[in-house]
Amino acid sequence: MKQSTFNPEQQRTDISSKIVAGLERLSEVFKIMLWEKAKLVGLSPIQIQILVFIAFHKRNLCNISHLAKEFNVTKPTISDAVRVLDNKGFIIKDYSSSDNRSYTILLSDLGHEMVSKIDDFSNPLKTQIDGFSKPELQSLFATLSQLIYKLNQNGILTVQRTCFGCKFYEINDEKNYCNLLRKELLSEHIRIDCPEYEEKPVAGTI
């Protein structure tokens, strides 16, 4: 038998292979949901992702460089998408930062209106997830948050904002603890996209 995660024979006896194959299926779900919404509103999937991202994140993350990292595409790809969004009046470029060659991308009033039409693009998935029991959701989330952190540590996921990689996180008496909020974090309180996240310094750099 040819060894491969995608060989159904291997998946018969190896649950990790089945999980990877399952995650590949799930990655298709986002493409499908984004395309469905894109067709309705006349934007591309990446344009939708950019608008939704800037609606819910701090200004310091809303620039070409960060968006390229966030969505794992090139800066020219983001610049092209931003140019179209600008031409359609959905965003405003703010050049007021100290580096006047770069700009922060802000939503215009029209952009806010558009976001209210598109930020539900993932509802078909959310509806299915809502159907799981609380213990199932807690178990799924615990595994998911650890997997995201490990993929980031391996350099596969360039961006993550989970507690496990945050400088304010520590394990205190075998419990998750946030030094910023000064409270214990139950597994379900671990953040996956925390606005207060600050990257933990790599050991030996301080």
The CB-of-178 to ligand SF4 minimum distance in angstroms stands at 3
The CB-of-130 to ligand SF4 minimum distance in angstroms stands at 23
Q: Does 148 bind ligand SF4 (CB under 6 A)?
A: no
Taking the least distance from each CB to ligand SF4, the nearer of 37 and 161 is 161
The CB-of-75 to ligand SF4 minimum distance in angstroms stands at 27
> Nearest-CA neighbor of 119 among 182, 73, 56?
56
The CB-of-57 to ligand SF4 minimum distance in angstroms stands at 14
Query: With contacts defined by CB under 6 A, how many residues of the chain interact with ligand SF4?
Result: 11
The CB-of-200 to ligand SF4 minimum distance in angstroms stands at 9
> Nearest-CA neighbor of 67 among 137, 158, 138, 153?
158
Give the C-alpha distances (Å, rounded to integers) separating 65 from 51, 52, 59, 92, 105.
15, 17, 13, 17, 11
Residue identified by tokens 């953040």 is 191
Q: Does 163 bind ligand SF4 (CB under 6 A)?
A: yes
CB within 8 A of 61, min separation 6: which ones? 53, 67, 70
The CB-of-161 to ligand SF4 minimum distance in angstroms stands at 6
Q: What is the DSSP letter of 86?
A: H
Q: Does 197 bind ligand SF4 (CB under 6 A)?
A: yes
Q: What is the DSSP letter of 201?
A: P
Spatial distance between the Cα atoms of 114 and 41, rounded to a whole number of angstroms: 8
> Nearest-CA neighbor of 194 among 78, 92, 45, 56?
56
Q: Find the angle CA(52)-CA(149)-CA(160) to the nearest 5 degrees.
A: 30
Taking the least distance from each CB to ligand SF4, the nearer of 12 and 150 is 150
Taking the least distance from each CB to ligand SF4, the nearer of 73 and 194 is 194
Taking the least distance from each CB to ligand SF4, the nearer of 31 and 58 is 58
* Residues 167-186: x where in contact with ligand SF4 by CB under 6 A, - otherwise, as a string: -xx--------x-xx-----
* Total residue count of the chain as it appears in this document: 206
Q: Using CB under 6 A as the criterion, which residues of the chain lie in contact with ligand SF4 when the complex forms?
A: 163, 166, 168-169, 178, 180-181, 191, 194, 196-197
